[in-house]
Amino acid sequence: MSVPDLPRGVDPAPAIVARELGVRYNLRLTRKNTLRTSFMNLRARANGEREFWALRDVSFKLVHGESLGVIGPNGAGKSTLLQVLAGIIAPSAGTVEVRGQVSSLLTLGAGFDQELTGRDNILLAGAFLGIREEEMRGRMEGIIEYADIGQFIDAPIKTYSSGMRARLGFSIATFVDPDVLLLDEVLGTGDEAFRVKSKARILEIAASAKAVVLVTHDLHWVTDFCNRAMLLEQGRVVAEGDPQEVVDIHVDHSAKARENAPVKPA
């Protein structure tokens, strides 16, 4: 497999346009704060800050047929960016436009009903995405076959392992013919055979003039299968463009960060 060329005749209107995007968290600890957000708030407080910017001045465009790999160290703002693109959180600054139908494991996985079977959750996901039930039923067998979870498709989601949930979610997300596909570390779940099949599926989607945004720590995936990459550090874009060049910058920055890290006492 190789990175697909940008399809001919692609709609010139970008699939995603982000302009000076920013996401700010205030430092008040509330019950709604996640543990991760609370930790970031405490760290910011220790530094004398009054607010924490998870993203700041992020601008980019993505056209249909491009697959963008978003990389960076932990806490760089990668997942926050994906949540903004998915419409889960609103930006505190700047604007973002996402054109067309968006499919994301972030929303589909969160929307699974634990008491319903996998088969019923496929229909529920279709309703969530605004797809008619008869159309979703027409896609169901393909989704079930691709997920390859056997008889568990008729068992409640609460009985699934995390890998089975990811397989079903990935199958739904990629079989609803999205204009924009958002994925967050999904390829790190499951066995090697499914990971290979997942990568092939994403290439098919990108080749069919769709837009893909993938957050990952798998640098080989970025260089082998994405045609663009973006490096985030401390919520800001520090590099964007050719995947190999961006990965090389990330590797260099990571090595320097390890060299400068304080030595822990034995």
Q: What is the CATH number of the domain that holds 54?
A: 3.40.50.300
In angstroms, what is the C-alpha Rg of the chain? 19
Does some domain include residue 185? no
Does some domain include residue 244? yes
pLDDT tens across 191-219, in order? Answer: 778 878 888 888 888 778 789 999 988 89
Does some domain include residue 1? yes
Does some domain include residue 175? no
Cite the DSSP H helix spans in 6-104. 35-46, 78-85
Cα–chain-centroid distance for residue 225?
A: 15
Cite the DSSP H helix spans in 86-158. 105-111, 118-128, 133-147
Cite the DSSP H helix spans in the chain. 35-46, 78-85, 105-111, 118-128, 133-147, 162-175, 192-207, 219-225, 243-260
Does some domain include residue 138? no
| Amino acid letter, 254 | S
Query: Which residue range forms the structural domain that includes residue 87?
Result: 1-100+216-256
pLDDT tens across 22-64, in order? Answer: 999 876 654 445 545 555 555 554 555 568 899 999 999 999 8
What distance in Å separates the CA atoms of residue 128 and residue 212, rounded to the nearest whole number?
A: 20
**Residue indicated by tokens 């699939």:** 15
Taking alpha carbons only, the member of 249, 260, 194, 190 closest to residue 72 is 249
The domain total for the chain is: 1
Does some domain include residue 8? yes
Does some domain include residue 31? yes
Does some domain include residue 106? no
pLDDT tens across 103-151, in order? Answer: 887 666 667 899 999 999 999 988 888 889 999 999 999 999 999 999 9
What distance in Å separates the CA atoms of residue 26 and residue 108, rounded to the nearest whole number?
A: 28
